[in-house]
A and B are shown apart, each in its own frame.
Chain A
Amino acid sequence: MANGKELDILFKARKINKSFGDFKANIDIDISIKKGEIHALLGENGAGKSTLVKIFYGVLKHDSGTIEINNQLINISSPQSARKNGVGMVFQHFSLFPALTVAENILIALDQKIGFQRLISDIRKLSKEWDLFIDPLRLISDLSVGERQRVEIIRCLMQNPKLLIMDEPTSVLTPQEIENLFKILKRLSKSGCSILYISHKLEEIIELANQVTILKSGRCVSTLNAKTTSTKELAETMVGKKITKLKKNNIKNNKTVAFEVKNLNKIKDNDFGITLKNINLKINYGEILGIAGIAGNGQNELMDVLSGEVICNNDNEILLENVPIGQKNITLRRKLGIEPIPEERTLHATVPNLALNQNTFLTYYYKYKNRNNFFSNFFISPQHSSEESSKIIKDNDVRCPEPNPLANQLSGGNLQKFILGRSMANNPKVAIFSQPTWGVDIGAATSIRQKLLNLSQKGKAVILISQDLEEIFELSDKVCVINNGVLSNILPVNEMSASDVGLLMGANINNNKKSEVS
């Protein structure tokens, strides 16, 4: 009796598990996709979406679990075998050779042998059939991003896929291109091809998908009917309704403004960067300001400008206690009491192949300089900070295999403790954290979060840039969201709900602008 229902299931994955070392990326994930269905996969960064589809396309191998296509158990061991089984994938970052033509790029990925002239006529036919206009003889490097995506889609269509996986396809497209893409995807699904569509943009999913499966911390939380759900429901499910408010007691009502950013603009310095647009923020002593947002929306650029690694265009764009410091470099800002703790623990906050005393010296060296003595300034070396280094190790319970180990001998959590301790020993006025608990185990994460709370209770101003919404809500007094280089208004945490934040994170800035105009 269940057979009737089972028959139109094209693709079914059961109890998929995948770990990287200790980290569990996918836990017991079930998903089934009907024929001709557009099935959306929704989740925050790090929820396990990309890992899952890479398993489906044979790029990664799952630890356990089964995959069925048309009720037949299959083994997807490589992208070739995925294609043979009718699974095609368009990656978020395209895998095309810029120096080759469209046809050559398609030929490379083709598993069957085919003559070049035949291939070109096939491409022309397909592109006409699907309104994917592209000249097969053009060089990839001459194409726009949207056109390159068409090439990827055509490449998949050449294989007559039964299931097309698209990894965040709209993140690189203009609104017009998105509209076009949606038309094509809808036609594809009508013709019987199923589509697994990964996105964190809520409106898109509602518009496009039939079903939506939501992942959270590697688990499948829920599968909803996209036609009957709302963006609000999606946001809540994605973020997790229950947000434990481990509130700290006795908040000091210190209303002295510690740190302020005024109309800060910074144009991106490379093609992959994000331009910061008119950033405004203000934080008092004793407060934690949480900045939420999905990775790649300008967090790194904001961190660089706040820390002083990148200097502002105008001195007045950043103020510390009402004194302009926008054009002061990172060392001068450290001296004034601003301590940045970057996201990347190795290679940014520390040098992995140097010992801890050398890594202490990295941000302490200016202390040993003597204004008047050039000669002794020349001869300052990591040995000077050995004492401070051992004190940091002792005070922060950094577990070391030897008294002065290399940074890469420490575990992620212990290294983070060292980095925090190194900054806190300077007794800063303002601490700026970027993803402080990214990739550390729960125990270390809790102790790091506690340290952040303690800092604010000691009257420090703390800025917390994080993708982890639970963390943001657990710690922050005020919350805002960064999306495509724009910072939302700052609101007290009790006036913001998780779904508000989720909506701001997933909002398509371009669409908003359109609706504002109309």
Chain B
Amino acid sequence: MSALNTAMLLALLPELLVLALMGVVLVADLAGWVQGRKLGWLTVVGLAVVLAVSLSVAMPNAAGAAVWGNTLRHDALSFVFRMLFLLAAGLTIFFSMDLPGLGDRGAFYLLLLASVLGMMLMAMANDLIMLFLAMETATIPLYVLAGFFTGRRDSVEAGFKYLLFGALASGVMLYGLSLLYGFSGGAVEFEAVARGLSETAAPRWAVLAALMVVLAGFAFKVAAVPFHFWAPDVYQGAPTPIAAFLSTASKAAGFALLVRVALVAFPGGTMPWWGAALAAMAAATMTLGNLLALTQTDLKRLLAYSSIGHAGYILMGVVAATKLGLTAVVFYLLVYLLTNLAAFGVVTVLERNTGSPAVAHLAGLYKRSPWLTLATLAAFLSLAGVPPFAGFVAKVWVFMAAVEAKLEWLAVVAVLNSIVGIYYYLVVLKVAYEYDPPADAQPLQVSRPVVWALAALAVFVVVAGVAFGPWFGWGQWAAMALFP
């Protein structure tokens, strides 16, 4: 039996701290020391402490190391994603703190923290067992969170739909993982699985079928075609900050795991059709997502389809399977995560004030709340990929990665899709700027934490678009984990 050492504990420090934070919140909630929205502040401060301590103490070197009996990898790639999840959880709490029935419940914070813990482990997972367990830990709390408004039909429906599709997807994925375990001769570590698959006696098509089944699980997690259909319904019914968390952190966690699996366990060369399948999926995802977004009149559904489209762009970087591709994926996810959180933050405010997230309710927003409209502008133009916002830079890098990997056709599809995308994002802005507000319109009430979060996010979207160097540097550092 090998002994425990400090390096192992240090590698797992962020997770241990999140677990400790969960304990603190739970005790504070039960004992009644901290109640209602103050629990939100406690959690946010706790997450900030975890983030600060992790950044100062637990930074790995880029190549990293496998720890805890090779079940986890503590490297730049996992570290960047873990910090991102902490950030996303904090921002989600800012948006939900003042929502009655959500931000005043201890269970909300506990479930969110449990989900974040699972996502962080997803980013680190280095074997099939950890992969599945981390994925379940991240997803199961989200089922409850999506249906958190137990008194509202649409929320319960969203939670239930997410649960049913999610359970099916993870069951199917587990079946695929067990097949891979068998084909690779009983290996669970990603590298060992790759080795086992390259010298397996099993026919190619059998291995490929197993891979496709596993891919289905990932496609569900990141909402990629043909396993995207749950996203609009779930986002629409779920509490808006939860929808934000689902479309950003949960998607990023799926990609964090997918890049590791796609680049380490099944490198494109060993399986000829694997890369082609991923490319087809990327093209179908971005096309379908963007086309269906065109007809949406509900802002949450629109953002759901747009997030499906973005999953397609990000998949492009995964397909490229190069150092630039991985860098672009990480950078894109960073930008997308913060931009989309801002967009959903606006929806939270809108829904809280007008009772529904219909695009029509944005009418005359400019005359009612100019600052909020400015944040909307930054978020939506960045999502559309208009310079000088961060989304533009992110798009350029994934397109370049695709071209560099000789996938010009995919890049062309993506550019055409971006043009479609610009249309529906601009329609939203047109309603906000050009249309007249209703006669009795008041300025929208925006709670203090939401103001801060939105302001910070809008500033980031502009700054990261103009001076993308440092943020791109994070992506490059993360990519060094797999491409030294």
Report if A and B associate in a common complex: no
B-to-A contact residues, CB < 8 Å: none
A-to-B contact residues, CB < 8 Å: none
